[in-house]
Amino acid sequence: MSINMTLRTAGSGLMAAQTGLRAVSDNISNVNTPGYVRKEVEQRPIVVNGVGMGVEVTAIKRVTDQYLQLASYTANSESSRWGVFSEYLDTAQALFGDPSDENFFFNRLDKAYAAFAAAADDPSSSLLRSQSIGNIEDFLSEANRINTQIDELGNTIETRIGGNVERVNELLGQINRLNGDISRAWLIEQDSSGSENIQSGLVDELSGLMSVQVTKRPGGGVDIRSAEGVKLAGDGAATLSYVRTDTTRGYIKVTPAGGIGSTQAIQVPGGEIRGLMDLRDTKLPELSNQLGEFVARASERLNAAHNASSSIPAPSSLNGRLTGLDLATAVSGFTGKSTVAIVDATGVVQHKVEIDFDTSTFTVNGAPGGAFSSATFLADLNIALTPAGSATFTDGALSIAAVGAGRGVAVDEGTSMKAGRQFSHFFGLNDIVRSTGYTTYETGLKSTDPHGFIPGDQIKFTLAQADGKPLQEVAVTVPAGATMADLLTALNDPLTGVGGYGSFTLDANGAMSFKALAPINANLSVNTDATRRGVGGPSISQLFGLGVAERTARADRFEVNARLVADPTKLAFGKLDLTVAAGQPALRPGDGRGALALSASGDVSQLFQAAGSLGDVTMTVSRYASEFGGSIGRDAASAQTRKESAKAVLDEASARRQAVEGVNLDEELVRLTTYQQAFNASARMIQAAKDLFDVLVQMV
């Protein structure tokens, strides 16, 4: 071997050792730097004509394990998803108060029942009457507050989703730009580990916001794709946007890099964005819907008891609620009997009309009073009430008034029944709780009844996957066919309706619901609804409670009857007794049976429609309150458990990844010693070559 070859070999070894020392030095100095991945020097021997000519550094590479990286990305997505889900659900749970506190939301209704029970023992007490009214007002206002704050929480979440999507766009842009830096470094065989470390940290942050697929590029850097494979970064950065309206579920859509190509919706199965979207579009609406269902049914039971009772003295008129129906349709389908009585100031019956819905006849003061039909009911009722009273039906509301000074109207519900409600209750003639909109959706309509909606009007639906990704928008036109069966046929048409994804049905109480077809199990939202039942009447979605917006707003609509707030003595604490002898009071002062019925209304079983975590169930209001309160706690506890489980998986994945990628000082010291020795050996070889050269020069 020539001296020149010896120097060249030793020099290559010296350079390789220096490169190794620099890599070890970087590793040791960054031992506590977050996101730093240790480096290793790759080298190979230089061989010329079968003879070793030294060593060369081929690359300085980060020590990574692709499987562990991908596992940590997945674990990070799940941990972030359930972390934010648990955080906000815990906030929502806190809105209802502490179950051990007397001001817990579900305890407020018990206070109202207790106040009515106390008033039953002393019906003349103005204080007890005022307390009864105040407790119901407190319960309803608290429900309103909770629902409003749930809505505000949803708006906060929506803002956070928008901020996260903006951050995702920033990360995609930065990751894409670093791809260029890394590729150029690879091309000229320079150290790209600094850029790769920064890029890895950005990908870690991105995986916490949304689940992504990450693959290495052959020329350096990474490609980022959505869960279903839509490219988000690599050869340019795509732009994500969050799409949502007040009536439809939210989803994420992607505009390809440079705006080239069509915009498309993507799946986001994990990450903080997924957790926030699940809260905004599923969990919080379910909570609001269940709150509305609970308050509606509690109010229904109070109203049922109040309509079956009367104040003493009886009010001069009973004014009903908006039914959303025309009178002929509203009266059709009633069974049993009900009695309307006109009484004087002392409670003595002056005029009595018994309505027999089974035979469609009136009995007036015990004598046959003629027949009626659903079409002529109002006119025939007025004839039967004359001269002691009158009835009107305006804008969907029935009213009955007494004629004559000091006279009042009282109703004996009897055996009358339609859609689970008795006559006065169905029309809301003597409601204790009023609503500013439609809150219960058992309309009593049958498939043979006229639907009443104006032909040609349209309702538009959006059908979406469980994660909000849209499937189809459908515009259904109200048909010329007049019956509910015709309307259902139009809604369920497989081409122009929702028939491709599910179907609408009408149950025995006239409640309409949508059932999705498996395996898609599409979610249905009401996009817009321009339908009206008659002039100024309710829309299809209002009357039947279709769509998230309609259902979640219910809890805000309840208030105590203003007439009773102004004068608590008008509370219906007595009962009309039609068994008394002629000339004897049918309403007697001191009667507390109505108050007792109000206090026991929470123990009457009734049907609750599916809402939140509960399906269609028949139980008492008090039992439902316990189930509802328990489900809120269980959901929050379940979310906390999933959060902790996901965090444990993330910790394990991170620990294993760190074991591979992190700096071990003991190992680095061994490498440092090895490179130092290699450096010294190369230096000694150079010194030996120099000494040999000096001897040769002296010999010459």
* Per-run averaged pLDDT (10 residues), the chain, 700 residues: 73 77 77 77 76 73 79 92 95 90 89 94 91 95 96 95 96 93 82 84 94 90 92 92 86 88 90 95 94 95 97 95 93 96 96 96 94 95 96 94 95 96 97 93 94 95 89 94 95 95 95 93 93 91 93 93 94 94 93 95 92 89 92 92 93 83 76 80 79 77
Q: Which helix (H) or strand (E) holds 451?
A: none
Determine the length of the chain: 700
CA distances, 62 to each of 26, 66, 215 (Å): 12, 12, 16
Strand partners, 528: 460
Strands of 457-546, DSSP E = 458-464, 470-477, 502-506, 512-516, 523-529
In b/e form, how buried is each residue of 247-270, taking b as 16+ CB within 10 angstroms? bbbbbbebebbeeeeeeebbbbeb
- Provide the terminal-to-terminal Cα distance of the chain, rounded to the nearest Å: 20
Sign, CA dihedral 669-673-679-680, equals: positive
CA 37/CA 650 separation, integer angstroms: 18
Preceding amide of 470 cis, omega within 30: no
The reported pLDDT for the residue numbered 364 is 96
267: region left, alpha or beta (phi > 0 left; psi from -120 to 50 alpha): beta
Q: CB-based burial of residue 189 (10 Å sphere; 0-12 exposed, 13-18 middle, 19+ buried)?
A: exposed
Non-local CB neighbours of 183 within 8 Å, separated by 6+ positions = 217, 219, 220, 221
The reported pLDDT for the residue numbered 204 is 92
CA distances, 520 to each of 108, 211, 258, 280, 640 (Å): 41, 22, 33, 21, 29
CA 678/CA 671 separation, integer angstroms: 10
Strand partners, 247: none
Q: Which amino acid makes up residue 37?
A: V
Q: Cβ–Cβ contacts within 10 Å for residue 157, how many?
A: 23
The reported pLDDT for the residue numbered 617 is 92
Q: How many helices (H) and strands (E) does the chain have?
A: 17, 25
The reported pLDDT for the residue numbered 18 is 81
The reported pLDDT for the residue numbered 1 is 53
The reported pLDDT for the residue numbered 501 is 95
Q: Where are the domains of the chain?
A: 3-63+663-699, 156-282, 316-429, 458-544
Radius of gyration of the chain (CA): 39
Contact yes or no for 385/379 (Cβ under 8 A)? no
How far does Cα 104 stand from its chain's mean position? 23
What's the token pair of residue 218?
A: 């052959």
Contact yes or no for 69/214 (Cβ under 8 A)? yes
Nearest 10 degrees: Cα torsion 674, 677, 683, 686: -90
Contact yes or no for 422/597 (Cβ under 8 A)? no
Nearest 10 degrees: Cα torsion 378, 379, 381, 384: 170
Non-local CB neighbours of 659 within 8 Å, separated by 6+ positions = none
Short-list 243, 570, 587, CA closest to 432? 570
Q: What is the residue whose two structure tokens read 């309150």?
A: 625
